[in-house]
Structure 1
Amino acid sequence: MSYSYPFEDHWSKQEIIDVVNFFSIVEKAYESGVKQDEVMIAYTRFKQIVPAKSEEKQLCAKFEKESGYSCYRTVQKAETLRSGQRLTMQ
């Protein structure tokens, strides 16, 4: 990994950790797979920190540009799976 995770300066230390965790889970979905529950829990917390859809799109676009991994497609696929199912992105 040779990229950085996007975050806002005004977030608390815990909020930064939680947002980075969400991006890390998206990354994991592409690299090795992850449980559907993990994605949805991390995304729910991410949305508590980033409630505005426009800000979410900006942060996820930055992350995708850096990493090549799509938050949107990962969450979209997770929403179609049942709890406990493994999610693997390609």
Structure 2
Amino acid sequence: MEYSYPLLPEWSTAEMIDVVKFFEAIEQAYEKGIKREVMMAKYRRFKEIVPAQAEEKTLCRQFEQSSGYVAYRVIKEAKAHTDGTIIKMK
């Protein structure tokens, strides 16, 4: 993995760590699979840090361009299932 995560300088160190954990969860959904409830917890925390949808789309687009992983697809899949489900993207 030779790419960087999209981060904003106005975030605190803790917020940056949580955003990185969210993007790592997206990676995990593609590479190994992740429990739905874990993914949704990371997403809820991400939304606390990035409440604006436009900003969320911009950050996720930047992540997709550098990594090839589509956060929107993972979140959509997670929302469509119930707890206990493993989210595994193809």
TM-score scaled to structure 2, two decimals? 0.98
How many residue pairs align between the two structures?
90
Which structure 2 segments of 5+ residues have no match? none
Amino acid at match of 1:37: E
CA–CA distance in structure 2, aligned partners of residues 4 and 74 of structure 1: 19
Partner Cα separation in structure 2 for residue 82 and residue 7 of structure 1: 30
State the AA in 2 paired with 1:72.
Y
Q: What does the per-residue CA deviation read over 1:2-42, in whole Å, with 9 as the maximum and x for residues that have no partner?
A: 10110100000000000000000000000010000111000
Looking at structure 2, the residues matched to 39 and 86 of structure 1 have their Cα atoms a distance apart, in angstroms, of 10
Uncovered stretches (5+) of structure 1, i.e. residues with no partner: none
Residue of structure 1 equivalent to 2:46: 46
Give runs of ≥4 in structure 1 deviating > 3 Å.
none
**What is aligned with 1:9?**
9
* Superposition CA RMSD, Å: 0.4
> For residues 70 and 37 of structure 1, what CA distance do their matches in structure 2 show?
19
SS class of match (1:69): coil
Displacement of 1:84: 1.3
Q: Which residue is equivalent to 1:19?
A: 19
Paired-residue identity, %: 49
